[in-house]
Structure 1
C-alpha cells in the first residue's frame, strides 16, 4: 500500500458518515463531573427527606425541639423541584452529548454494521415510551463492543447498570407520585423516605457503573484513534 492509499485509509477511519472522528476525553470528563453532581444532589435530597421525616416523628412524639424542626425545614428548602430538574437535565444532556459522539466514533471503529440502531435512536430511545426500557442499553452495548480491544463484550456490567437504572427510575416515580399528594399522613412520609432511599441506592449503583463505562469507552476510542495515526 503506497502513502496515498494509507492517507485515504486513515481519513476513512477518521470519519463516520461524513463526521470527523473526535477524541472523547474532554466530553467524558465533563459528563462524568455532571453525573457525579447529579448523584450528590440525589443523595442529599434523600438525606433531606429523612431529616423532615424524623423531625415530624419527634414532633408527634413531643420530643422535637424548635431548632430541630427549623434546621430540617431550612435544609429541605434548598431542594426545590426546579433545582432538581435543572441538575438532572444538565447531567442528562452532558451524557447524551458524549453518547452521540461515542456512537459516531463507534461507526468508524466497528463499521456501520456494528451498530444495530440508526443514529437517531441514540437520543430518541431515551424519550420513546416502551422503547426506553431496552434500546438505550443495546445502543451502549454496541458502542462498547465496537470500541473495546478485540471487540470484547461487556459481560454483565452493562446489564447490571441498566437494571439498576430502570428499577431506580420506577421506584423514583412511585416516590414522586406519593409526595405529590395533596396531604401526607405519617405512614405516607414513612413510605416516601423508604422509596427515596431505595431509589437513590439504585441510582448511585447505576451512576457508578455509567461513570466506569464512560471512562472505558472514552479511553479505548482515544487510544485506537492514536494507533491509526502512528
Structure 2
C-alpha cells in the first residue's frame, strides 16, 4: 500500500498483468486442446487412471502429457493471479488518493475476496468497480467489467477458476465421459482472460488520465 497522498506508478503493473492474462489464456487454450485429444482417443481398455480404492494404473503417453500441460497451466495461473492482484492493489491505492475516499472493501479482501465462499461471487467485481466509481462517480461503469465478471463466473460454474475443483485424473475422466461441458468452461476462462486484459487496459488508461489532470498545476 502507498503512503497517504502518494500516487503509485501503474503503467508497468498494468503491462505485466495484461501479459500474464494473455499467457493464461494461451495456457487454458492448451488445456482445451488436450481435452479434445483425450476425448478423441477415448477411454483406454484398462479403464480410468484413478480406478478407486487408492489404485492408479500407469498413465498413457497422452494422459502423462496432459499432466504436464495441466501443471504448466497451474503455474501460469498463479503468476497471472499475482500480476493481476499487484495491478489491482496499485489501482485501489491510486483511486483512494485521487478520490479522497477509502475503498469499499478493506485491504484483506484483496486476497480473501477470491476464496471466501459466497463472497467470491461479487467482492472481486466490487473492488474493480470501486476503482472506477470512486474516481469517476459520474461515469457509467465500463461494460468490459461486467463482461469479464460474467465470463469468469460462467467458467467457475463449469468447475474451473484459479484451479480446477477436480484433480487432474478426475478432469481426464471428465474428458473421456463428456468433454463438451469441460470445453465450454475452458472457453469461458479464455474469454474471461481476454476481457480481463481489456479491462485492465481500459481502467488504467482512465486512471492515468485522471492522474495527469491531478498533476497539472492550477492557475
Tell me the TM-score range normalised by the shorter chain.
Answer: 0.7 to 0.9
In the TM superposition, residue 119 of structure 1 has moved relative to its aligned partner by 2.7
Aligned counterparts of 1:92 and 1:188: Cα–Cα separation in 2: 26
Aligned length: 200
Give the TM-score normalised by the residue count of structure 1.
Answer: 0.74
One of 223, 227, 230 as aligned partner of 2:209: 223
Aligned counterparts of 1:182 and 1:128: Cα–Cα separation in 2: 24
Structure-1 residue corresponding to 2:140: 153
> Are positions 1:101 and 2:90 aligned together?
yes
Aligned counterparts of 2:208 and 2:9: Cα–Cα separation in 1: 5
Aligned counterparts of 2:17 and 2:142: Cα–Cα separation in 1: 23
Give the TM-score normalised by the residue count of structure 2.
Answer: 0.78
Structure-2 residue corresponding to 1:40: 26
Q: Tell me: CA distance 1:145–1:182, structure 2 relative to 1, closer, same or farther (3 Å).
A: closer
CA deviation vs aligned residue, 1:186-207 (integer Å, no higher than 9, x gap): x86141x212211111112222
Structure-1 residue corresponding to 2:197: 211
CA deviation vs aligned residue, 1:40-66 (integer Å, no higher than 9, x gap): 000011101111221237x88xxxxxx
Aligned counterparts of 2:171 and 2:100: Cα–Cα separation in 1: 54
Greater shift, 166-175 or 101-110, is seen at 166-175
Q: Tell me: CA distance 1:183–1:39, structure 2 relative to 1, closer, same or farther (3 Å).
A: closer
| Alignment map for 1:191-206 (pairs within 5 Å) | 191=178, 193-206=179-192
> Are positions 1:91 and 2:77 aligned together?
no
Q: Tell me: CA distance 1:51–1:219, structure 2 relative to 1, closer, same or farther (3 Å).
A: same
Aligned counterparts of 1:156 and 1:147: Cα–Cα separation in 2: 17
In the TM superposition, residue 227 of structure 1 has moved relative to its aligned partner by 1.8
Structure-2 residue corresponding to 1:50: 36
> Are positions 1:79 and 2:66 aligned together?
no
Aligned counterparts of 2:33 and 2:145: Cα–Cα separation in 1: 28
Decide which structure has the larger Cα Rg and report it.
1
Does the CA-based 8 Å contact 2:70-2:168 persist in structure 1? no
Does the CA-based 8 Å contact 1:23-1:221 persist in structure 2? no
In the TM superposition, residue 221 of structure 1 has moved relative to its aligned partner by 1.7
Q: Which has the higher contact order (CA 8 A, sep 6+)?
A: 2
Which of the pair is proportionally richer in helix? 1
One of 128, 153, 157 as aligned partner of 1:140: 128
CA deviation vs aligned residue, 1:180-229 (integer Å, no higher than 9, x gap): 44994xx86141x2122111111122222211110011112222212222
Task: Give the RMSD, CA atoms, in angstroms.
Answer: 3.0
Secondary structure at 2:116 match in 1: coil
What runs of 5+ residues in structure 1 fail to find an aligned partner?
1-14, 61-68
Aligned counterparts of 1:124 and 1:206: Cα–Cα separation in 2: 20
